[in-house]
Structure 1
Amino acid sequence: MKTYKIIVVENDEDEQFFMKEGFDSTGLFEIITMVKSGDELFEWLEANMDSQPDLILSDLNMPGKNGYDIIDEMKASPVYAAIPVVITSTSSTPTIIAKCLTRGAADYVVKPETFIEYVPYVQGLYQRITDKKLVK
């Protein structure tokens, strides 16, 4: 099984903690870094040009550059356009999902309702990435 290198963009520290536990316990992903905003994401990408991820998993609603901004900037950049961005949020509203996908998100995954559900969330994310061939 391939292990995907991932950057997680999430502003909530509790959510970061439980996401990391879920990702680490499955062994399906290698978290390169966790950042709290789109601003931090782009700073990290610029400073680490030799360590680009296979995938970026980003929360939608954050202070500073949010998930929409991340999609827009990644797609507009010749350097980063090929890196898939998967948006994650508590919202399952079809218009929000459609807006993200129309803007160029590779996928949209609804966050689990409780922190203890992150292992199945990570396993489902891995399956979606594999099934949809999101990573080259």
Structure 2
Amino acid sequence: MRKFKIIVVENDEDEQFFMKQGFDTSGLFEIITMVRNGDVLLEWLTDNQATLPDVILSDLNMPGKNGYDIISGIKSNPTYTHIPVIITSTSSTKTIVDKCLNLGAADYVVKPDTFIEYVPYVENLHRLIENKNLVKDSDALAS
């Protein structure tokens, strides 16, 4: 099973904590960094071009650059355009999901209702990435 390098963009500290626990428990991802919004993400990517992730998981609604801005920023920069951006949010509203996909998000996943559901959430995220072949084999870490 492949282990993917991921950057998580999430402004809520509690959500970050429980997401990290889910990712760590699953062992399916290597979290490169967790950042609080798109401004910090784009700065981090600029400063760390030798350590680009296989995938970016971003919350949709954040202060500063939000999920929509992240999709646009990643897709408009040739250095990053190959990195799939998956948006996550508590909303499952079709118009919001469609807007993200139309902007170029690789997918959209709804956050779990409770913090204790993050391990299955992470496992489903990993399956989604593999089933959609979002990351090239040569880009993923061997586990």
TM-score range, shorter chain: over 0.9
Residue correspondence of structure 1 range 32-47 to structure 2 within 5 A: 32-47=32-47
Q: Which amino acid aligns with 1:52?
A: L
How far is the alpha carbon of 1:79 from its aligned partner?
A: 0.5
Distance apart, 1:43 and its partner CA = 0.8
SS at 2:50 equivalent: coil
Look up the SS of the partner of 1:95 in the other structure.
helix
> How big is the shift at 1:121?
0.2
Identity of aligned residues (%): 71
Supply the distance in 2 between the matched residues of 1:79 and 1:49 (Cα, whole angstroms): 9
User: Match of 2:2?
Assistant: 2
Partner of 1:79: 79
Q: How big is the shift at 1:31?
A: 0.1
- 5+ residue gaps, structure 1: none
Normalized against structure 2, the TM-score is what? 0.94
Q: Distance in 1 between matches of 2:16 and 2:101?
A: 24
Calculate the aligned-residue CA RMSD, in Å. 0.4
DSSP-derived class of the 2:83 partner: coil
The aligned residue for residue 129 of structure 1 is 129
Query: TM-score, normalised on structure 1?
Result: 0.99
Q: Which residue in the other structure is 1:61 paired with? A: 61
Alpha-carbon offset, residue 36 of structure 1: 0.1
Matches within 5 A, 1:20-31: 20-31=20-31
Give the drift of 1:27: 0.3
User: What is the CA distance between 1:49 and its match in structure 2?
Assistant: 0.7
Tell me, in whole angstroms, the C-alpha distance in 1 between the residues paired with 2:129 and 2:49.
23
Letter in structure 2 aligned against 1:115:
F
CA distance in 2, matches of 1:48, 1:72: 19
Higher RCO (CA 8 Å, separation ≥ 6 residues)? 2
SS at match of 2:108: strand
SS of 2:6's partner is strand
Q: Which runs of 5+ in 2 are unaligned?
A: 137-143
> How far 1:131 sits from its partner (Å)?
0.4
Task: Please report how far the alpha carbon of residue 59 of structure 1 lies from its aligned counterpart in structure 2 after TM superposition.
Answer: 0.1
